[in-house]
Structure 1
């Protein structure tokens, strides 16, 4: 098991931080196949997440994000890379004037890049398939 603990201060206020965390949870469910539960409180929220090989919580307050994650044996091998990517992405978002908008832009950019990267493979695979056999009518 490998643990990740990341704390980042911010000046977003609870409402903006909440929106960003909630959107992250939506994307984590869709893209990372995580089961996320969002619990909203008066002064803080908690996003609990889990999937095979990883689980944890993201605590959201008016002035900080605190991530605690536990990686299983297989993902634990990649702890340093996973942690550095989370830190890099979170720091880049928090440098922006509107982190939620920056998150959406980054997501769109990633999806466009991913689609372009895989499009040639799909086209090549489709071209390599022989045409479907046609039945001749008598």
Structure 2
């Protein structure tokens, strides 16, 4: 099992960062065909072969994605897509 773990600082405030995290989650859900749900300041997502979370705090956003054996070879691509999305949504 491969894990992608990325933390990015932001200066948006927690509520705006949560709105942006939702946009990121929508993109992930579309690309990964995942189901998403908020629990407090953490958005969790799950699909066959991958699951993870987006945790939003006052100063940063942390994205953790665990890839199953079939998706592990895509770890680099998934990490790159998440980094691009974080840069876009947290700018």
User: Considering the TM-score relative to the shorter chain, is it more than 0.5?
Assistant: yes
Cα distance in 2 between the residues matched to 1:16 and 1:91: 15
User: What's the counterpart of residue 23 of structure 1?
Assistant: 23
Q: TM-score, normalised by structure 1?
A: 0.59
Query: Out of 73, 76, 80, which is 2:72 matched to?
Result: 76
1:67-125 per-position Cα deviation (integer Å, ceiling 9, x unaligned): 11100111100101110121122123323xxxxxxxxxxxxxxxxxxxxxxxxxxxxxx
Find the counterpart in structure 2 of residue 105 from structure 1. Answer: none
Q: How many residues align?
A: 91
The alpha-carbon distance between structure 1 residues 31 and 85, as it changes in their structure 2 partners (threshold 3 A), is closer
User: TM-score by structure 2 length?
Assistant: 0.86
RMSD, aligned α-carbons: 1.7
Which consecutive unaligned segments of at least 5 residues does structure 1 have? 96-138
Higher normalized contact order (CA 8 Å, seq sep 6+, divided by chain length): 2
- Give the gaps of 5 or more residues in structure 2: none
Distance in 1, matches of 2:66 and 2:37, equals 16
Alpha-carbon distance in structure 1 between the residues aligned to 2:73 and 2:31: 21
Higher gyration radius (CA) = 1
Q: How big is the shift at 1:31?
A: 5.1
CA separation of 1:94/1:20 partners in 2, compared to 1, >3 Å: closer, same or farther? closer
Q: Post-superposition, which runs of at least 4 consecutive aligned residues in structure 1 deviate over 6 A? A: none
